[in-house]
Amino acid sequence: MTSMTQMKCACESCLCIVSLTDAIAKENKHYCSEACANGHPNGQGCGHQGCGC
């Protein structure tokens, strides 16, 4: 049996793959950044290269 260690950021418009050990967990979902976890206040993106969320 293999355990998942990575998954897509739970933010729908985000393209990031996040490691579960580094992810920001909120409401049982995993996000790549505080901006994604908080629903992009003030239109702030995650800031990761190549991602336009």
Asked if pLDDT for residue 2 goes beyond 80, the answer is no
**Architecture of the structural domain at 6-43:** Roll (2.30)
pTM of the predicted protein model:
0.86
- Rounded mean pLDDT of the chain? 93
What pLDDT score was predicted for residue 22? 93
Residues with Cβ within 8 Å of 8's Cβ and at least 6 positions away in sequence, in order, are 14, 15, 16, 17, 18
All structural domains of the chain with their residue ranges: 6-43
Q: Which amino acid is at 11?
A: C
* Beta-strand pair 24-26/29-31: antiparallel
Query: Per-residue pLDDT tens for 29-45?
Result: 999 999 999 999 999 99
What pLDDT score was predicted for residue 1? 64
